[in-house]
Structure 1
Amino acid sequence: MANIQKILPANVPGEFFVDKTCIDCGTCAWLAPDTFADQNGMAYVFRQPSSEGERMRVHMSVLSCPVGAIGSRMRQGGPGAEAHLPEPIDQNVYYCGYHSAKSYGAASYLIRRPEGNILVDSPRFAKPLIKKIEDLGGIDLMFLTHKDDVADHEKFHRHFGCRRILHEADIGRETAHIEEVIRGDDVQSLSPDIRIIPVPGHTAGSCCLLWREAILFTGDHLSWDSGKKSLYASKHTCWHDWSRQIQSMKRLSGFSFEWVLPGHGARCHLPFDRMRVELAGLIDRMTTTF
């Protein structure tokens, strides 16, 4: 819970604030961009919400903050905020919220499908979220994009009995008992409308998941830069091999998608043609900075 005694001085006066426990994961800034921004490696409230819609986004940020760094001087929860998570995005895909500090605040997603739901990466194992996921049909498969964002995967596995899948290059002590292992760099199909695309670079075993040739779950491989209004890949947080990440980005040029849903960073929705142009531009920038 946020502490008013640790409030950051950058916050504007008003009900909501961010305290000094913020880890700058960026969650609140893209979830409620009309209220939160970043300054000197910390989030802060630059503008208090002025509508019920904006207040709801702030309360969703309170629930989703991995370290509980967002507080309210009124000391009351957001009525109805829990009902808005998971949040529908498009084509039976939901944003889970409830980020975990174990994954440095990475986003996770639920794909709802008759054949069995898929959880992409791990949110925090929070009771309100668990109940909502149960109401949506549970979890059949947990797809882990890479080793950084596995968080509470074991708790979800035990509760839902879901199978977990991760690339062999990213399996470690905490994931040694994964049920299904992705091997090699070939594209694999989970079903006619789901493909696994290995994209080594950020980590050796990073993978994207492509849903219905439209929605790409990218882990930490690819995201949207809200400030520059362009696709983004982080060289600073490339833990494995930047040259391989460039090649992996080029690989994505062979696929069609209109959504980028990342673990860290903002998501984006662009027309297919625009997405191709943006991806080509990113590859040029990555090559220039190599």
Structure 2
Amino acid sequence: MALRGGFLCPTYRLPNPFSFTSRSRDAGRRFAESATAAVAGRRKRPQNVEGEFFVDHLCIDCDTCRWMAPEVFTRVDDMSAVTRQPSCEEERIKALQALLSCPTSSIHTERPTNKILEVQKMFPLPIDEQKIPGVYHCGYHSERSYGATSYFVTHPEGNILVDSPRFTERLACNIEMLGGVRYMFLTHKDDVGDHEKWSKRMRCERILHSGDVEISTADVEKKLCGEGPWDIATDLKLIYTPGHTEGSVCLYYKPLKVLFTGDHLYGSEESDLAFSVIYNQQSVSLQLKSIRKLLDFDFEWILPGHGRRVTFRDNQEKNSALEAFLARQEPLYA
């Protein structure tokens, strides 16, 4: 299978068949046993309600826990806090998933819990097994990417890691059990996280637009040039969407009608479409032009790096939402 649209086909190498070892199991046990010790030097935010879970003062307000476990975590005074303790096992599991995903390890339990070992095995998490089978949330958000979400996609022509989660041996083993990684697609330069560790561990080839290549990503195997589009499989297309950064690119998975947007476009906490002006590194007007380009693609899911997921009933609703968003924003940056 060739990478079409500007660069050559890589040679496919199967991932290393690493197996679980006593060392990785011991690491999981040590995680649970040291939960209380990890709190040393961290202050519990007074905004937390009393109970099992709490958030410390090193929270960076990345929003991860609030969309992963909204029943438990809320934004209070520009940081997350536990405003209601879990009331059932499902809510407790979601809170523990958020604990593992927190990029600054700012979520804690008052006492160590062995339940964390069970929750570790759940990642990557299926997003919607009925509507978008084979698309997963990796969890383990990286502080180096300011808590950005990364995704794992199983595909018959080779699995894809979209942006970089924090590297952990447990997650790596879980991903290998799902078939490993052929490509690591980096949407833009901000969310590359632990890309080198993942590349070495999975022996996958990284893809990044040349406009976003920096010293830390100089050895990326496949550098996109020009304006594309580029195909990495018969039904996976890379769409050039500059604006947030010079080399921002979205991944379009046509059969499932999913668009992985990085930081190009996302949902706000109020469920509206949004983009970041304050963190724009190139041109807001260019970013809006790139958003308008998305009217030409039929998708019903937006899976972003930062921000909330967005779903639409159909392409017509998606286009109506995009048109309304652009009508509000384009006059401001004409």
Aligned residue runs from structure 1 range 70-149, under 5 A: 70-79=107-116, 80-89=118-127, 90-149=132-191
Equivalent residue for 1:61, pick from 84, 95, 98: 98
Aligned residue runs from structure 1 range 31-46, under 5 A: 31-46=68-83
Match for residue 279 of structure 1?
322
- How many residue pairs get matched? 289
The Cα shift of 1:77 comes to 4.6
Aligned residue runs from structure 1 range 164-175, under 5 A: 164-175=206-217
Equivalent residue for 1:221, pick from 264, 274, 296: 264
> Counterpart amino acid of 2:175?
I
**8 Å CA contact 1:2, 1:70 repeated in 2:** no
TM-score scaled by structure 2?
A: 0.84
Q: Indicate the SS of the match to 1:226.
A: coil
RMSD: 1.4
CA distance in 2, matches of 1:148, 1:175: 11
Match for residue 61 of structure 2?
24
The Cα shift of 1:188 comes to 1.6
Gaps of 5+ in 2: 1-37
Distance 1:105 1:77, change over 3 A: farther
1:124-175, CA deviations, whole angstroms, 9 ceiling, x for partnerless residues? 1111101100100111100000000111111111111100100010001011
**8 Å CA contact 2:254, 2:298 repeated in 1:** no
**8 Å CA contact 2:149, 2:305 repeated in 1:** yes
CA distance in 1, matches of 2:49, 2:58: 18
CA distance in 2, matches of 1:221, 1:101: 19
The Cα shift of 1:195 comes to 0.5
Moved more, 272-281 or 243-252: 272-281
CA distance in 2, matches of 1:31, 1:205: 29
1:214-269, CA deviations, whole angstroms, 9 ceiling, x for partnerless residues? 01000001111132x21111111112110110100001111111111111111122
Distance 1:204 1:77, change over 3 A: farther
Distance 1:77 1:68, change over 3 A: farther
The Cα shift of 1:3 comes to 5.0
The Cα shift of 1:119 comes to 0.3
Pair 1:269-2:311 in alignment = yes
Larger Rg: 2
Question: Percent identity of the aligned residues?
Answer: 43
CA distance in 2, matches of 1:225, 1:155: 31
Gaps of 5+ in 1: none
CA distance in 2, matches of 1:172, 1:5: 34
Match for residue 6 of structure 2?
none
Moved more, 3-12 or 147-156: 3-12
1:175-196, CA deviations, whole angstroms, 9 ceiling, x for partnerless residues? 1011111111232222221010
CA distance in 2, matches of 1:258, 1:119: 20
Q: Indicate the SS of the match to 2:299.
A: coil
**8 Å CA contact 1:117, 1:137 repeated in 2:** yes
CA distance in 1, matches of 2:165, 2:65: 15
TM-score scaled by structure 1?
A: 0.96
Structure number with greater CO (CA < 8 Å, separation at least 6) is 2
